[in-house]
Structure 1
Amino acid sequence: MDLNPQQLHYFKRELISQQLDKEVSSIKKSTQLSSLVQPTAETAKEYPFLQYLTQNFVLNFPLLKNGNENDFWIKLQSFLDEYSKLKLDNYAPKSARDSQRRVLLYKIEKLLIISLSASIKTVQGTEESIDLLAPATSPKGDEDSLVSKLNLTHLESEERYLEWIGLNGLRLNVITVRDVSEVRTIRQHLHSEFIIETNLVVAEGQDPVPTIYVARRHGQFRQLRDDLKLAFPTLELPGVPSKARDATNKESQHLHREKDRIMLRSFLRRLCAEPLVANSDIFRDFLLNDALQLTPAERKDADLRQKMDQNRSDEEKRFREEVDKKIVELDGLLDMLKTQIMKPNGLIEIFEIIKTTDTIDKLPIELQKAFEWGRINFAFVLHTQFVTSDRSVENVANLKRTHSLMPYRTIAQILKLSNPFSMVKGVLDLFLAQPFGGKSLFQRIMLSNMNEQTKDMQKDIEELELKINDAPLCQKVCNAVKCDKPASLELGKTSPIQETLELLKNPAIEPVLSPQQIIKVAFANQPNKVEARTLVEDLYKLWILYARKQEQELMMSLVFQGVTGDLIKDLFAIFYEPLAQVYKAANIGDTIGHVAAFVNDLIEIVDKLDVEDATNTAQPFIDLVKNHEAKFYQFVHNVHAQDQSKLFDNLLGYVDSLFAFVSHGIPTRIDIELITKEAGITGDDIPVLKKEIDALCAYHYNRKQRHLERKRQKMMTSTDIADNEEIFNFLPENKEVMGVLNDMVEVDYESDDDDDDNSNDGESSLVAHESTIIRPKLVLIPKIAPTFVKHVQNIMQ
């Protein structure tokens, strides 16, 4: 057939996907793990791919093999049985009802496909996946690909990232802070106002719009979020940062409330990244109404702050250049290390050196340089997160709060117990014990994390119900999400307006509407009936919110099921008990103290930094990591040196075998051309088949583009891209391995938190999840799939 490497890759991948879709659909209905864990001749025909992955990748995992396998699988089956009892298929908007679960399942299926695709090799030879980071990857041969003109290594900071994604026609900055005096009753009160600078981006050829300055108090930022939340209740909006409590703001009046200025700027820019918010009248009024002129004193203060912003940017750039310089300097030695890792048993040999070498300075030069590479990269991440990012103040506050809550001493004492079983039991009891029938520490942690979400969700519901001002209509929507979805109804196929009207007409859901209520909503489909349409749109938003609340409550009920606690205990025992003896010998209790000391030192460094001057701040972070890396290495060395059970050798062997398997796959290769002929595809069918394959390549190109577009809109942390870039620098340069990693990137780019952005409620993000892209219609490839599966089954046995 003369397929190029890219056509070959996606043709084979689609054949795998055709079979895997059937197997996943079947196992979802049965939820019986025994079909995979204890295969029979009959189930082997039904689940050839899933059984292969389970037997070769899951059951061979060393820690799982060392545990009580039968009990674990029995409890996991019980958990799945309890999960299947949850009323998740309720009457709710499709996007709101199953978005998170659907995206999670989508990711799992994608990982399975990638694993199988890496395992099954063809006699036709080299395969290539689409790489958006390389030029000319478009199926149309477009050399100006989406990413080839973007230098992703310069996107470490949130500010540069937001410049890259664009702010939907807005360029804004909080440039200064002024104090304003007002008289309340008989006394004067002083309050701060933050001056926002906004530039409207105009199309090429149009006259520029003058810069607009407005002054807003902190409370007005909170009111802005409340107004936006009421207008867009289904959007996930960032919270308004709390006021910073810092004495330096009082001591240095020329940069008064500087931390607040930086955090509020980050808040506004994150709002700008959401198209619906950026283009809303509420947001534009906040930025543009009541414009003012800067006084000379305000302009001088703004200039000082701009210089400070530039200093932070320059410091980050200098640190980035230092990292890049170190990478170039170490490139040759790191290449030697990569080559070593790809050799058979290469990873085991490297850790054998660590096992027999007690300090870093005695390691071979290649490994010393690898630690040096890690040191400066980790220091850069810390510096970015806690110094140069606009969210650094928020990040520091979160670090301090988490650090203060961690029971380091208690954990350390438990881990020092001489009996490994007592050690495991102590940790389990600490997190899972329910004194006097109360909630366990694990449950309290879960509840504390979800309480804030629940409060916000309930507040949104109450505000929206107040706006709708019709209790029976709201109650009908509330009751709907607790009912089974009507069997004859297929959600997601019509408009939100029509779906909501169908819900309201349903007599099986209480309360039944009165004639007056029916008249209020009946004409919502007619464009000229604005009031009725607005009412039904609000009811649809309320439906989504109630569906989210219902799902959260159901999932929380599963968390508090006894079978969930039993499964967590088993997982903990399986994964930790084999490590307990090794960790005991390696003094892991002392290591917990080292972790606490590291965080203490990190907080001390951050507290000593001057918010007004970010220059020369990189070295303390490099020194911090260097000062603690010896203790970290000592722990790693002790763990491997004290491993009498050979557990870590087995783990390394498992990872080493995965590298080898990705490189070489199943020993026997399949012949795609022979399979195609056996399936009866010959002669005039070949050009048609090639068109289907080309359509697949175009589909996957568009899908990866969508991944990147979603990344551009949704990534709000400052190091994700940079971290991935550096990780790729260190991974083995093997075509097979890098091909798999390229496919894995598309999974990383997916979002799991709000896939309901692609709902039809009129409040969706401009870029929907890539799973919404319509797949090409295939006729011949599905006919080839059964023959392909037979051939693969033969080589898998």
Structure 2
Amino acid sequence: MTELLSPIQEHYLKRELVRAQISYEVQQLSDFKSIASLGPPFVGAGGALHDGYSKLPVMTHIFNAQVQTFPFINSVNPKEFWEDKVQTFVESLAQKDLSSSADRAEETKRRRIGRKLTNLIALYLSSGLQTTTPMEKTAFVQPPAEDGVRNIDLDKIVVDLYDAHYINDIDVNVVGVRIVSERHGFLYEDHAEFMIKAQFRGAPPVYVARRYSEFRKLQTQLEKEFPGKPLPTLPSHNKSTTIMGDFDDSDSISAASEESDHENESSNRPNPIAKFFSGNKKQVSTYPREKQRITLRSYLRALLRNTQVVKSQSLLEFLFRDRLKPTLEELKDMDNRRRLDIKRIEDQIEFYKIATERARVLEVHMSEFKQDLMAPGGLQKIFSEIRTKDSVDQLSPKFQKFLEWAEIEFGGTLYNMFVADDSSPEFFSQVSRIHKLVPYTLLRAVLRVSNPMAIMKGVIDLFLAQPLGRRSLLQNILIMVLSDDIKVQEKAITELKKKVNNASIVASFEAYLDASYSVKEEIRARNSDLIMSIITSPMISQMSPEAVMEIEAWYTAWNSAVEGKHVENSDYVESFSNLTELFKLMVRKRDKDQIQNLWDEASTMGLVKTLFTIFYGPLVEVFRSAKVHEAVGDFEKFMSDLMRVVRAAEGNALSSDPNQMVQEFYELCQRHVPALYKFIHQVYVHDNGLFDEIMMWISGIMEFLRNGNGKKLDLNEVCRQGQVNAGVDIAKVQREIDSIVAWIDERREWREQQRAHKKSTSDNTQAIKEWQDALPTHGLDGSAFGLDEKDLAEVADDEESDLDDDLSDEEADIGLSAVEQERRRRARLLRRVEQQAHAPVRPEVTELPKLREFFQLALSEVLRPTVV
């Protein structure tokens, strides 16, 4: 029979139909009231059993093939757990009718999480479903481009250190430190001031000097100005001094540049770093507060990345008030510290180059390891080796080479965390303090004679116990917390009701909140402000025509205020602002009331207790048999060794050979891998088969992604059925698929351009953070597990788009007026529109959706388990 689709068309048709089917099924399950449609073990009214594969093939397959088979819960009694506990809880939750994104005028976390899960399910099915066309699976899988350290543009990084690098139109750098003597009575006291260079785009740079106490004052002011908003943490006070060889006075930038130009006349590629280090180091020089300077620079740049904080008057005054002109001595200090920055960059590049080359040596062995992993049952075979081999020395050569590669990878990660990043000194200081405070000896002694999991289970039992059928301690705590929050909201609602002074408005809001899902959907569908839709809706509004006209006047004035226009009657603006605040608080209070009721129900606590029993029982047994106390001692040794290596790296960072530094971090990991392996081996040996079950479950997913379930999906037949039974135009379907393929490629290219632009406007530390991903993966990418690389890239694009949209910033709007909140919401919406203005537009399709019903029929047969 003639094939209607090319392999590429078939691949993307499958993907589009999978997404359409998932959207349909999510809509069917959106109110949680149709959970019985998934079929057994869930039951419908009167105990009726549904055929889930006919109605909801995707969700039924996910539930039966992945959820029910997950270790821990794969041995539960289906009726007691799924029907009596889970279904009862879900149906109770469905009756609560919690608010949606439309009600809150913002995107709820539930919706964002749901979209992420939908993307993952679509990726899972698109990769796992096998079609009758052999070439479909590999039609568009392309090997990922080689990226990483080899492609780092060294010239650009060095230029970036010198050129202004704007974050939200402001460039800031802590360029130096000066020591100032201050007289206190008969004595003089020295203190450090950090030289800050700041400039607006298009304006000359400004220099100011700030003490650490002024940074602390800035942090306090910002916390008061933005209550409830997460702000970067001010680095702790660090008075340490960095020591290194001094630079020759003749090594000025211009002189060094001229000398370097002369030396490099015959060179194929100029070395921009060499011109800053061409002079000989004459003597040892000290640089006070160098680590503090780096962490404070990272802190200021983190503040600038926040679009609201960057407009703060406190921050702007901190950066631009009390300007000064640096002295020659201060300029020399700035120049030398800039040279230190460049030397750090040079060492970091060399570190990752050396680490990458070491990893490449292992490429042949890693390829063999990958082949074993990809073989049927490969994951179980690899982990069975962990069970049977007592030490690292007994492992097969391929496994040992894999561990060697992992040691290099992890060593690079540790280097980036504790040495390379601007925030590394602060992070190391925090970890070091915690390490000193942990009572390892006492903890080891306690774990030697007790089982932490058993203790935790006893604590959980204490919190979940319901004596004589009364509320448990956990219920009382949660309900008390919710009650306190509800009381605060009730007080605010009461105050707003007094200001509104209109019972019919309150009654209309309450009628909407109590309305059915269909009524709410009809009201939300009207293209107007939600409050105005409620007030004017004949289904629920209890307002007189005169009152509606008055509120419309309020809305007109309020809308003008939001748009920044002059408003003659400010009382109208305040009146409508009160309405928006009242409605928002009523929505949130109702949600909390419903959640409080949910926690008070026996079905909720029954499910919580069952889940704890299911998951904690096996873990208690594992920890009882494994020697956990020995692992605590091994961890203490690792942390002490890490602290020593990092301190040595910090002390020699500007003078040591990068190859030696790579060796130090590699040997650190190498020294402690045997202890880590021993702990994993002990846990695995005493797990009563739990780890084997987890490996089998993961292997089942990998097998489906690579090879499907043994059944083939005939998309050409789906098209023929659509053509015969629904008059689908196949030629138009082909054109629509081709347009989607072209759009995907155009959007990916556009996203790459956006990333390049974003990288060019970010601070210099961005490049450093990307180096940690530069080590070769030797083929251990998505395609190795059966995932299409382009599909993976598109999911990543969608995730990045979600982050860029940032339409819901509820925490950032705390304490703002209703007008300002709406103004910011519209600004975020406008920013999203502007960001997408130049993005390739997804082509409209009209024929593809007509195939969904026929695709569902074919899909239900492919996903339905074969009855033996």
Q: Note whether the superposition's TM-score is higher than 0.5.
A: yes
Q: Deviations over 1:504-525 (max 9, x none)?
A: 999999x999999989747426
The match for 2:631 is 591
Letter in 2 for 1:676: C
The match for 1:21 is 23
Q: Cα distance, 1:470 vs. partner? A: 14
Q: Cα distance, 1:774 vs. partner? A: 7.5
Judging changes above 3 Å, is the alpha-carbon distance between structure 1 residues 165 and 692 closer, same or farther for their aligned structure 2 residues? Answer: farther
Matched residues in 1 for 2:41 and 2:777: separation? 37
The match for 2:196 is 196
Letter in 1 for 2:208: V
Matched residues in 2 for 1:560 and 1:720: separation? 44
Query: What is the SS of the residue equivalent to 2:178?
Result: strand
Query: What is the SS of the residue equivalent to 1:293?
Result: coil
Matched residues in 1 for 2:603 and 2:241: separation? 52
Judging changes above 3 Å, is the alpha-carbon distance between structure 1 residues 153 and 307 closer, same or farther for their aligned structure 2 residues? Answer: closer
Whether the 8 Å CA contact 2:98–2:591 is kept in 1: the answer is no
Matched residues in 1 for 2:205 and 2:705: separation? 56
Aligned pairs for 1:513-662 within 5 A:
521=558, 523-524=560-561, 528-529=565-566, 567=607, 570-603=610-643, 605-606=645-646, 610=650, 613=653, 616=656, 617-642=661-686, 645-662=688-705
Judging changes above 3 Å, is the alpha-carbon distance between structure 1 residues 560 and 786 closer, same or farther for their aligned structure 2 residues? Answer: closer
Q: Deviations over 1:25-55 (max 9, x none)?
A: 2222135655435264444322221111211
Q: Cα distance, 1:22 vs. partner? A: 1.8
Q: Cα distance, 1:330 vs. partner? A: 0.3
Aligned pairs for 1:329-478 within 5 A:
329-396=361-428, 398-399=430-431, 424-430=453-459, 433-434=462-463, 472=499
Query: What is the SS of the residue equivalent to 1:650?
Result: helix
Letter in 1 for 2:855: F
Matched residues in 2 for 1:623 and 1:591: separation? 20
Q: Deviations over 1:737-769 (max 9, x none)?
A: 454655664576576799435973325795689
Judging changes above 3 Å, is the alpha-carbon distance between structure 1 residues 423 and 174 closer, same or farther for their aligned structure 2 residues? Answer: closer
Residue among 327, 330, 346 paired with 1:298: 330
| Percentage of identical aligned residues | 23
The match for 2:209 is 215
Judging changes above 3 Å, is the alpha-carbon distance between structure 1 residues 431 and 410 closer, same or farther for their aligned structure 2 residues? Answer: farther
Residue among 99, 103, 123 paired with 1:89: 99
Matched residues in 2 for 1:104 and 1:185: separation? 62
Q: Cα distance, 1:5 vs. partner? A: 4.7
Judging changes above 3 Å, is the alpha-carbon distance between structure 1 residues 239 and 577 closer, same or farther for their aligned structure 2 residues? Answer: same
Q: Cα distance, 1:111 vs. partner? A: 1.2
The match for 1:465 is none
Judging changes above 3 Å, is the alpha-carbon distance between structure 1 residues 27 and 488 closer, same or farther for their aligned structure 2 residues? Answer: closer
Residue among 226, 237, 241 paired with 1:244: 237
Q: Deviations over 1:425-465 (max 9, x none)?
A: 422334674499999999999x99x9xxx9xxx9xxx9xxx
Residue among 325, 342, 356 paired with 1:324: 356
Query: What is the SS of the residue equivalent to 2:194?
Result: strand
The match for 2:295 is 263
Whether the 8 Å CA contact 2:242–2:288 is kept in 1: the answer is yes
Letter in 2 for 1:112: I
Matched residues in 2 for 1:348 and 1:243: separation? 47
Letter in 1 for 2:130: K
Q: Cα distance, 1:786 vs. partner? A: 0.8
The match for 1:173 is 173
Q: Cα distance, 1:670 vs. partner? A: 1.9
Q: Cα distance, 1:360 vs. partner? A: 1.3
What RMSD over aligned residues (CA atoms) do the two structures have, in Å? 5.9
Is 1:107 the equivalent of 2:116? yes
Judging changes above 3 Å, is the alpha-carbon distance between structure 1 residues 429 and 306 closer, same or farther for their aligned structure 2 residues? Answer: farther
Judging changes above 3 Å, is the alpha-carbon distance between structure 1 residues 602 and 376 closer, same or farther for their aligned structure 2 residues? Answer: same
Letter in 2 for 1:306: R
The match for 1:38 is 41
Matched residues in 1 for 2:312 and 2:23: separation? 41
Q: Cα distance, 1:338 vs. partner? A: 0.3
Judging changes above 3 Å, is the alpha-carbon distance between structure 1 residues 411 and 181 closer, same or farther for their aligned structure 2 residues? Answer: closer
Q: Cα distance, 1:404 vs. partner? A: 7.6
Q: Cα distance, 1:237 vs. partner? A: 5.6
Matched residues in 1 for 2:109 and 2:553: separation? 38
Letter in 1 for 2:721: E
Letter in 2 for 1:680: Q
Is 1:736 the equivalent of 2:786? yes
Q: Cα distance, 1:244 vs. partner? A: 1.9
Q: TM-score, normalised on structure 1?
A: 0.75
Matched residues in 2 for 1:440 and 1:742: separation? 47
Runs of 5+ consecutive residues of structure 2 not aligned to the other structure: 43-48, 245-283, 810-823
The match for 1:694 is 738
Letter in 2 for 1:387: V
Whether the 8 Å CA contact 1:177–1:194 is kept in 2: the answer is yes
Q: Deviations over 1:133-160 (max 9, x none)?
A: 9589xxxxxxxxxx99995899xx9x99
Query: What is the SS of the residue equivalent to 2:234?
Result: coil
Judging changes above 3 Å, is the alpha-carbon distance between structure 1 residues 400 and 530 closer, same or farther for their aligned structure 2 residues? Answer: farther
Query: What is the SS of the residue equivalent to 1:173?
Result: strand
Query: What is the SS of the residue equivalent to 2:324?
Result: coil
The match for 2:271 is none
Matched residues in 2 for 1:268 and 1:544: separation? 38
Letter in 1 for 2:566: K
Query: What is the SS of the residue equivalent to 2:131?
Result: coil
Q: Cα distance, 1:305 vs. partner? A: 2.4
Matched residues in 1 for 2:113 and 2:163: separation? 30
Query: What is the SS of the residue equivalent to 1:238?
Result: coil
Matched residues in 2 for 1:489 and 1:619: separation? 66
Residue among 846, 849, 854 paired with 1:779: 846
The match for 2:13 is 11
Q: Deviations over 1:266-321 (max 9, x none)?
A: 12222343456657887666545554321122222223322332333233222211
Letter in 1 for 2:458: D
Query: What is the SS of the residue equivalent to 1:176?
Result: strand
Whether the 8 Å CA contact 1:255–1:612 is kept in 2: the answer is no
Q: Deviations over 1:405-428 (max 9, x none)?
A: 87978886786679xxx7644223
Whether the 8 Å CA contact 1:195–1:213 is kept in 2: the answer is yes
Letter in 1 for 2:691: F
The match for 1:760 is 825
Letter in 2 for 1:632: L
Whether the 8 Å CA contact 2:509–2:583 is kept in 1: the answer is no
Query: What is the SS of the residue equivalent to 1:64?
Result: coil
Q: Cα distance, 1:595 vs. partner? A: 3.1
Q: Cα distance, 1:666 vs. partner? A: 2.8
Judging changes above 3 Å, is the alpha-carbon distance between structure 1 residues 82 and 30 closer, same or farther for their aligned structure 2 residues? Answer: closer
Residue among 52, 55, 71 paired with 1:62: 71
Letter in 1 for 2:176: T
Whether the 8 Å CA contact 1:233–1:541 is kept in 2: the answer is no
Whether the 8 Å CA contact 2:175–2:195 is kept in 1: the answer is yes
Q: Cα distance, 1:243 vs. partner? A: 3.5
Q: Cα distance, 1:345 vs. partner? A: 1.8
Q: Cα distance, 1:392 vs. partner? A: 1.8
Q: Cα distance, 1:660 vs. partner? A: 2.1
Q: Cα distance, 1:382 vs. partner? A: 1.5
Q: Cα distance, 1:676 vs. partner? A: 0.8
Matched residues in 2 for 1:691 and 1:162: separation? 51
| Greater shift in the superposed pair: 748-757 or 666-675 | 748-757
